[in-house]
Structure 1
Amino acid sequence: MKWKLLTVLFAAMFVLAACGGGGDEGSSGDSGGDTGTEEQESSGESSGGEVDSAAAEEAFQANCASCHGGDLGGGVGPALDSVGADMSQDDIVTIIQNGRGDMPAQDVDEETATQIAGWLAQKK
């Protein structure tokens, strides 16, 4: 019985640690995905500039996908496949930097947070 409890606690700790996301990885530009590229080629709506969708998706995969799903479909965290319909880029940046609910603040620089948020804001 103790081993089962320890196993469950260890697994829960592992899942929660995975949501802390790194941010130490460099941008090598090999995202491998082309999800929504037509939408992403339009400019970021609230930033007023272009969103580098490949770099933004790579940053998302490195920092967010472990909880929100690699396909934005959710997992431990909520689905983000249409988050742009409900939130602006600025709202998303605030959540990335400060956390919200069960989501802890992410250890990413402001540029990365803005890049990810601009990409997610296009998901409607």
Structure 2
Amino acid sequence: MKKIWLTSGVSIVLAGCLIFLLFFYKGHQPSPSSNGGTQGTSAGNAEEIVSNSCISCHGENLQGGAGPALNKVGGKYEQSDIEDIINNGKNGMPAGVISNEEAAIVAEWLSRKK
């Protein structure tokens, strides 16, 4: 009888662990700013940040929308100016949409768009 209880108890614990893993555990998901600096200025990372935070206002191809076009913003602003706008806002652009680290990455990427 003890063997049945023990087997049932272990089965219940294992089933509970499986349910937790299936529905709640997300695994290790590094944020764009926590990559140890190895990919901090890569275009892929900047594009991911822009895709997650900017295209809703600036358009899928940065052609503009609710916000101005950014596809040639590097011809108008220097990298430091772009970073300042991202961090502090300007006109309809709210401040702090992304972190300061992400702003530096995106500003560097956008400054090359001329």
Q: Same fold (TM over 0.5)?
A: yes
Paired AA for residue 31 in structure 2? G
TM normalised by structure 2 equals: 0.64
- Does 2:62 align with 1:86? no
Rg larger in 1 or in 2?
2
Which consecutive residues of structure 1, in runs of 5 or more, have no partner in the other structure?
Answer: 1-24, 28-49
- Does 2:74 align with 1:74? no
Residue of structure 2 equivalent to 1:111:
101
Q: Displacement of 1:109 after TM fit?
A: 1.7
Q: Displacement of 1:108 after TM fit?
A: 2.0
Residue of structure 1 equivalent to 2:13:
none
- Does 2:107 align with 1:122? no
- Over the matched positions of the two proteins, sequence identity in percent amounts to 44
Distance in 2 (CA, whole Å) between partners of 1:70 and 1:117 is: 17
Which gives a bigger RCO, structure 1 or 2 (Cα 8 Å, sep 6+)? 1
Bigger share in helix: 2
Two-structure CA RMSD over aligned residues (Å): 1.7
Q: Displacement of 1:72 after TM fit?
A: 0.7
Q: Alpha carbons of 1:116 and 1:75: their partners in 2 closer, same or farther (altered >3 Å)?
A: same
- Does 2:43 align with 1:53? yes
Q: Displacement of 1:107 after TM fit?
A: 3.2
TM normalised by structure 1 equals: 0.59
